[in-house]
Amino acid sequence: MKLSLTTALYRLGRNLAVAAGLGMVFPYPVHGQLVASPVSPPQSRSSDRAKKSFSQSATEAAKRLARFPGSLRRNQKKSPDAQSSEPSTSPAQFSENTPADPRKVALQAVVKAAIPADRHYRETLADAIATCYWRNKFKPLWRGKPLPDRIFRALSVQMARHAIPGTRILNPDSIQSALRDSPVDRKDLARTISIGDAGAQVRFGAVSSDQIWPDWDSGDTPGSDDRSAAGFALDLFRGSKSRPFSLVRVMDDLAPKSWIYRELQKGYEKSKASMLRYSGLPNIPDPASYGVARAGQSYPYAPALAAHLIDKGYLKLPAQQIAALSSLTPELTKALIAFQTDYGLEADGIMGSSSWRILNTNAVDLFRANTINLHRARLIPGNLGNRYVIINLPSAELFAFEKKDQLAFHMRVVHGKASDKDHRTPIFRDVMQEIVFGPYWNVPKSIAMKEIIPKVLEEPDYLSRNNYEIVDSFSSSGAKVFDQSPETLNQVAEGTLFLRQTPGSDNALGHVKFLLPNQFNVYLHDTPSKRYFVRSQRDQSHGCIRLAEPKKMALWTLGSQGWDQAKITQAMEAKKRTGHRVENGLNVYITYFTLFPRPQGNGLYVLAPARDVYGLDPVDTRTLAAVIPWEESGGQ
């Protein structure tokens, strides 16, 4: 019987594998394609002679295969189990179809044992490293790479750039001596674990995300999953294959990729350097104690103000003119307004407490703020979406972005009160799915009990005067309305009936609300109370986000769905509830940065200090004590 060339090769290879005592997967020909066929080793171990014979035969078979027609070799490359040293285009593709290879499983266990138990990313890193070696056919990752002899010191320098102390580096020499039964080269694996652990600390942080922002990974989690094992494995593998090779590039590839992290990381290195040199800038007294200064008014601290504005690049004046200043001149006022605009302050040209707080921030305070917020920024996805919104609570601002992180617009917001922990806006991310014009305000039971019913007891017409209804449900179409009476008010207090406010200009939600379904019942909305937007401290809501320019937000969100200014205005003024789906959703990120890179357009950013409104800086500093170079006291 004649055998095809493919079948003959299969039988030859299978017999050789069995003779050598190898447990392996061997390609078997089916309809011209090669599929996986497991080969079980014999019960007894093969002799050295048999192994040598197998090696010689396998070499000869490889030589023969090289002479065979290209169609067979192409079929081999197309095998679904074929391993490629080239990374796929996405983390999912890079890690998909990973077989239950016993060597990969064994390697994962070895790596996990070598990583300290206090590393919260231990499982993720072990999985990532094992995947890299599997993709590399269990060959060394770093062979032939110009790694420095003292890799420990080189990693220390790189980690310091990302606010991680060098004392947390795993020494590859110590790792290598402790490795046992490694299925790959021990020296190479030790280096991989050391580099991988350093990169994991930079990307994942010293503590898990729920210790910084507890609700960040709950519910919907829009944005790229950069903290997955697959994503980390892909970047580590790419780094090992990069040409020209550079350890700096490897660490940069493993670092978080968001523009927020990038700008804070730049600022961190600058702020660290500025602490080491004396700026010589004079102190500006607090306007709360010495009075504010307005344009044209006499101001004895005008030279000090000018020096700070010159240092930040907003003013150019010769030293003689600086010393001669005695008032807020037009030139000084213009520079102050430009500074206020860039930093999100009221651009009024008044030297008040808000401007003073930022201008008078010293190098040490700036370094502390930069360090804390750099650690927070590790949680931000590298890819935030094609269009997305960031709401930063400390600065009480909303930023809307187009493709490639281009700023579309920004506006002021009002968020949850700091004075009441139950009313604080949570830090989380979700997807906006619907816009409702002419919304009802469904009054939470706590607000009904604490705020509205007491007013009704004092003013019996309070509900009718402010367009409230007593209903049996919050259904927008099927709710039954009840007359006000002592009995129905008692039922509201008991929670069997409810209060809601009908659509209209006096509605607490204004003319429009933006829904991103979440466990906190937090959403964005219009408001009839506009006075709070001019304040520097804008924590005034019960937890939801009030928008200074809701019409602009609605037009930007629905513009691609055929809505224009006139249609938005008509829907807002209709006093009738209508809901409209946001096609493809809109990613919304509610963040907490007390030093935030405010985008200025054209790729420019200003690192703007913001009020620690919820007192989280000292709390997070204590949480991050293992990597923070100072001790913290106080906080909440």
Both 424 and 521 in one domain: the answer is yes
Mean pLDDT for the chain overall? 85
Q: Which residue has the tokens 């197309």?
A: 78
Q: What is the pLDDT of residue 295?
A: 93
> Can you list the alpha helix ranges (DSSP code H) found in 537-630?
550-558, 565-573, 616-623
Structural domain range at position 240:
91-255
List, for residues 371-427, the tens digit of each pLDDT value: 999 999 999 999 999 999 999 999 999 999 999 999 999 999 999 999 999 999 999
| β-sheet with 468-471: strand ranges across | 441-442, 498-501, 468-471, 481-482
Q: Which neighbouring-strand residues pair with 468?
A: 501
Question: How confident is the model over 439-444, as a mean pLDDT?
Answer: 93
pLDDT at 31 over 80: no
Label residue 97 by pLDDT band (50, 70, 90). Answer: low
Looking at residue 98, its pLDDT comes to: 62
Verify that 448 and 564 share a domain, yes or no: yes
Domain assignment present for residue 538? The answer is: yes
Tens-digit pLDDT profile for residues 383-399: 999 999 999 999 999 99
What's the pLDDT at 88?
Answer: 52
For residue 274, being part of any structural domain is answered with no
Final residue of a structural domain among 77, 102, 124: 77
Q: In residues, how long is the chain?
A: 636
pTM: 0.81
Q: Are 76 and 51 in contact (CB under 8 A)?
A: no
Q: What is the pLDDT of residues 293-339, one digit of tens each?
A: 999 999 999 999 999 999 888 999 988 888 899 999 999 999 999 99
Q: In this structure, are strands 407-416 and 428-437 parallel, antiparallel, or unpaired?
A: unpaired
Same domain, 59 and 150: no
| The last residue of a domain, from among 341, 359, 377 | 359
Q: Is 629 within the bounds of a domain?
A: no
Of 77, 100, 122, the position where a domain reaches its end is 77
Strand 428-437 to 441-442 pairing: unpaired
Share of the chain above pLDDT 90, in %: 67
Identify whether residues 72 and 109 lie together within a single domain.
no
Answer yes or no: do 51 and 178 share one domain: no
Do both 26 and 165 map to the same domain? Answer: no
Mean pLDDT over 199-220 rounds to 96
How many domains are contained in the chain? 4
Q: Do 396 and 465 share a domain, yes or no?
A: yes
Is 618 within a domain?
A: no
Chain segment 106-149, per-residue pLDDT in tens: 999 999 999 999 999 999 999 999 999 999 999 999 988 888 87
Same domain? For 150 and 215 the reply is: yes
* Angle of CA points 605, 609, 612, to nearest 5°: 140
Indicate whether 96 pLDDT > 80.
no
Summarised one tens digit per residue, pLDDT across range 219-228 is 899 999 999 9
**Is residue 369 situated within a structural domain?**
no
Q: Long-range contacts for 332-339 (Cβ within 8 Å, ≥24 apart)?
A: 332/302, 332/305, 332/306, 333/295, 333/296, 335/306, 335/309, 336/305, 336/309, 338/314, 339/309, 339/312, 339/314
Domain-located, residue 627: no
Shared-domain flag, residues 565 and 496: yes
The pLDDT of residue 357: 86
* 272 is a domain residue: no
Query: Is position 622 within any domain?
Result: no
Angle at 87 between CA 85 and CA 93, to 5 degrees: 125
| Pair (519, 586) in one structural domain | yes
Query: Are residue 308 and residue 408 in the same domain, yes or no?
Result: no
Mark whether 307 and 439 lie in a shared domain. no
The token pair that represents 595 in the structure block = 């030093």
Q: What is the pLDDT of residue 256?
A: 97
